Structure 1
Amino acid sequence: MREITCPLEAIFFILKGKWAPIILWRMRLGNQRLIDLKKDIIGCNEKMLIQHLNNLIEYGLLEKIEYDVYPKHTEYKLTEFGKELIPSLAKFQELGLKYLQKSKLLTDTK
């Protein structure tokens, strides 16, 4: 792992990439299967999604649960550390919405 010189840098390092914060924001709704995430996160292909999920697991933000049933399925869930990031992401969501509305980049706020 690279040298981190600031605690804020550490958080931005683990949230790097376009999809990591979006995945975590979606995970706030509860456990998710890969198929659900693929359907809800538009523009992220399966390979990229799996890569980000694995990174988020490695950094301790997500946990992978494999159910030994037929048909076998896997779910992802937020760890306690991942849950701690949700209020910060909510603030970013709020600020992003304000920016988009102010700059007229967002026309439908539903």
Structure 2
Amino acid sequence: MEEIKVFNCPVEATLSVIGGKYKCVILYHLSHETLRFSQLQHIIPHVTAKMLSQQLHDLEDRGLIHKEIYPVVPPKTEYSLTEFGKTLSPIVNAMCDWGNTYMKDQIHPVELK
């Protein structure tokens, strides 16, 4: 039986699901298309195979992504967002927008007043 977690605020609850170094990055890429493990490794170059596997497994356990295994040789595995996972798209898109602004400010810093 899984332990019921008590959260002190909604942000804490959200981070308990999508927190982690690569989970939001994975969700971002899967929001655009279904991807294979090797494709995810390619577009997230700093992630190790072990870490990517762990993050994907956790996202799958939480019902955010779907793992489809095709019975071919060699085995083909594809990952996609579930309907529940798609509900996180507005959050991930907002993070993307903020990140774009932040990266632009790093190139052309805005003076703080």
- After TM superposition, the score normalised by the length of structure 1 is 0.86
Count of residue pairs the alignment pairs up: 106
Question: 1:77 and 2:85 equivalent?
Answer: no
RMSD: 1.8
In the alignment, which residue of structure 1 is the partner of 2:93? Answer: 90
Q: Aligned with 1:35: secondary structure? A: helix
Q: What are the residue-to-residue correspondences of 1:16-95 with 2, within 5 Å?
A: 16-95=19-98
User: SS in structure 2 opposite 1:38?
Assistant: helix
Unaligned residue ranges in structure 2 (runs of 5+): none
Runs of 4+ aligned residues of structure 1 deviating over 3 Å after TM superposition are: none
The structure with the larger Rg is 2
* Structure 1 spans left out of the alignment, 5+ residues: none
Give distance in 2, aligned partners of 1:38 and 1:99: 25
C-alpha displacement of 1:72: 2.1
TM-score (norm 2): 0.84
Determine what percentage of the aligned residue pairs are the same residue.
34
What is the distance in 2 between the residues matched to 1:51 and 1:34? 12
